[in-house]
């Protein structure tokens, strides 16, 4: 069995690729070792490839862009590490054809992770590479589920751990679906917010008995805020999708959910230019105003 050097960035590189599914050389460099020369990152990736832990595809139409992904063997090794143990096993994308088919959306999700990671570093706040968990699965009954593009953990304030812990579900949209389908995700998250799993033969709680709670409370003390990150079009297309979210937010069935959970939308281009901590986010109930992503509807 390959012994990944735990004293170097090798372990982090493999863990990140296992969790993120795939990333370019440049993205991996920015995630795992922004303070060293890029050549060191390239050598590290070549070493892990020689050991059979990761592989790559080259996209000829994107300036021969190299995209790295974990092999099945690499996933097997990384999944045994404490920092990844206990998480839902990732859908391994270890076939080059599958990588090419999923590369657009997955690399955009990785780029979204980077705008938060790099902003946290600049601000002295805490958001580590493995605090970004792609494809988080939550059932909502009837055989259906919400699968968030990512779940992010972020501690605001000083990086010494004394700040407030913020959690967010992140949905990344590249304009590959119509605005109505994007807006329908609001309803799915509202269902998750109210979903109470029923056991066969379950009865109403007796007097003095603890009521059955929503399923999400097993995982989070507060329901994570919901962030829509929009890409793939110019400003007019971004506005169209924000307007669709705003129209969907008027549904009476969403009133309780939106009163409780901050739901915000922003263009990925604005996050890159200004940083996600800046007031570039549009609340879906009031898209004419912008707020910081840490905004609360009760503030």
Q: pLDDT tens track of the chain, all 299 residues? A: 344 544 468 999 999 999 999 999 999 999 998 988 999 999 999 999 999 999 999 887 666 789 999 998 999 999 889 888 766 555 666 677 778 878 889 999 999 999 999 999 999 999 999 999 999 999 999 899 999 999 999 998 765 657 788 999 999 999 888 888 999 999 999 999 999 987 655 555 555 555 678 999 999 999 999 999 999 999 999 999 999 999 999 999 999 999 999 999 999 999 999 999 999 999 999 999 999 998 777 65
pTM (whole model) above 0.85: yes
**CA–CA distance, 269 with 252 (Å, rounded to integer):** 32
3-state secondary structure of 207: coil
Cα within 13 Å of Cα(39), Cβ side = 0
Q: Which domains does the chain have, with CATH numbers?
A: 10-93 (1.10.10.10), 117-283 (no CATH)
Which whole-number Å values give the CA distances from 220 to 156, 167, 174, 253, in the listed order? 17, 9, 28, 23
DSSP state at residue 5: -
Res 164: pLDDT:
85
Res 102: pLDDT:
83
**CA–CA distance, 92 with 18 (Å, rounded to integer):** 8
Q: Residue 198 — φ and ψ, nearest 5°?
A: -105, 130
CB 80 within 8 A of CB 99: no
Output the CA torsion 156→160→161→164 (10° steps): -20
Res 296: pLDDT:
76
Name which of 295, 293, 173 is nearest 241 in CA terms. Answer: 173
Neighbours of 291 (CB within 10 A): 19
**CA–CA distance, 245 with 267 (Å, rounded to integer):** 14
CB 18 within 8 A of CB 88: no
Res 209: pLDDT:
52
Res 98: pLDDT:
77
**CA–CA distance, 56 with 50 (Å, rounded to integer):** 11
**Degrees, nearest 5: CA angle 175-192-21:** 50
**Degrees, nearest 5: CA angle 225-228-230:** 160
Beta bridge mates, 54: 70
**CA–CA distance, 140 with 251 (Å, rounded to integer):** 19
């Amino acid at each position: 069995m390959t012994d990944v050097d735990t004293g170097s960035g090798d372990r982090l590189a493999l863990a990140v690729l296992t969790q993120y599914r795939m990333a370019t050389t440049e993205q991996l460099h920015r995630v795992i070792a922004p303070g060293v020369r890029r050549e060191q990152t390239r050598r590290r990736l070549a070493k892990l490839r020689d050991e059979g832990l990761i592989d790559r595809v080259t996209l000829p139409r994107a300036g021969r862009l190299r995209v790295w992904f974990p092999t099945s063997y690499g996933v097997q090794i990384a999944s045994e590490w404490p920092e990844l143990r206990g998480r839902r096993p990732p859908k391994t994308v270890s076939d080059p054809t599958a990588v090419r088919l999923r590369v657009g959306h997955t690399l955009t999700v990785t780029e979204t992770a980077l705008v938060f990671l790099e902003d946290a570093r600049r601000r002295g706040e805490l958001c580590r590479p493995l605090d970004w968990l792609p494809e988080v699965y939550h059932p909502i009954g009837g055989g259906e589920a919400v699968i968030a593009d990512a779940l992010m953990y972020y501690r605001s304030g000083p990086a010494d751990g004394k700040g407030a812990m913020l959690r967010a579900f992140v949905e990344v949209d590249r304009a590959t679906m119509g605005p109505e389908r994007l807006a329908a995700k609001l309803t799915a998250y509202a269902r998750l917010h109210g979903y109470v799993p029923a056991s066969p033969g379950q009865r109403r709680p007796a007097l003095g008995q603890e009521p059955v709670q929503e399923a999400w409370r097993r995982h989070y003390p507060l329901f994570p805020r919901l962030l829509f990150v929009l890409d793939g079009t110019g400003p007019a297309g971004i506005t169209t999708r924000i307007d669709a979210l705003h129209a969907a937010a008027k549904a009476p069935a969403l009133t309780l959910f939106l009163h409780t959970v901050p739901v915000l939308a922003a263009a990925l281009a604005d996050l890159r230019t200004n940083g996600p901590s800046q007031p570039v986010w549009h609340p879906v109930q009031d898209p004419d105003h912008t707020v910081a992503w840490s905004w609360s509807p009760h503030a």
